[in-house]
């Protein structure tokens, strides 16, 4: 299955992926309108220390702890992709505690949010991948 991978060697820490992610999930058609004067809550986040940068998002684990921890079935693994059914999420945040990568976060409406490979916003190639200026974030089979 194709996943989002990050090549640390090429990640510049510019954080543009975060903005592209936030825009893709904003339901707006103009980036300015979507993000101007907003605090963004993207599903990918760049971790930086010194010259080392790394964008982190859901790895769509083979054996996902978050899905195992979810008590309502809001998180499910379908064809390898871990998806959220916001209707079912009861805001217990067990998944957030379970995820070893910190790839899940609460959203503004209280339900959890995570990377769903832009399947739901219908972007095709995930927005973070398309927006990466150095091909550090790639979407490929490994």
Contacts with another protein, residue ranges (CB under 8 A): 9-10, 12-16, 18-20, 23, 31-32, 35-37, 51, 131, 133-136
**Nearest residue (CB) to another protein, 59 versus 130:** 130
**Nearest residue (CB) to another protein, 23 versus 104:** 23
Shortest CB 131 distance to another protein, Å:
7
Shortest CB 32 distance to another protein, Å:
5
Which stretch of DSSP H or E encloses residue 82? strand 81-84
Alpha helices (runs of H) in 1-140, residue ranges in sequence order: 16-24, 31-35, 65-69, 94-98, 127-131
Q: How far apart are CA 68 and CA 91, in angstroms?
A: 16
Shortest CB 130 distance to another protein, Å:
11
**Closest to 126 measured CA to CA, from 134, 136, 135, 116:** 116
């Amino acid at each position: 299955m194709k996943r989002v991978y990050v090549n640390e060697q090429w990640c510049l820490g510019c954080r543009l992926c975060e903005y592209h992610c936030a825009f893709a999930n904003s339901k707006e058609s103009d980036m300015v309108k979507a993000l101007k004067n907003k605090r963004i809550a993207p599903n990918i986040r760049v971790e930086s220390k010194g010259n080392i940068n790394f964008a982190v998002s859901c790895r769509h684990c083979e054996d996902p702890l978050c899905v195992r921890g979810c008590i309502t079935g809001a998180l499910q693994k379908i064809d390898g992709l871990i998806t959220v059914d916001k209707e079912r999420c009861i805001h217990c945040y067990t998944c957030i505690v379970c995820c070893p990568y910190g790839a899940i976060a609460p959203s503004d409406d209280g339900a959890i949010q995570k990377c769903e490979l832009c399947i739901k916003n219908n972007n095709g190639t995930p927005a973070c991948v398309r927006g990466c200026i150095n091909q550090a974030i790639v979407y490929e089979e490994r």
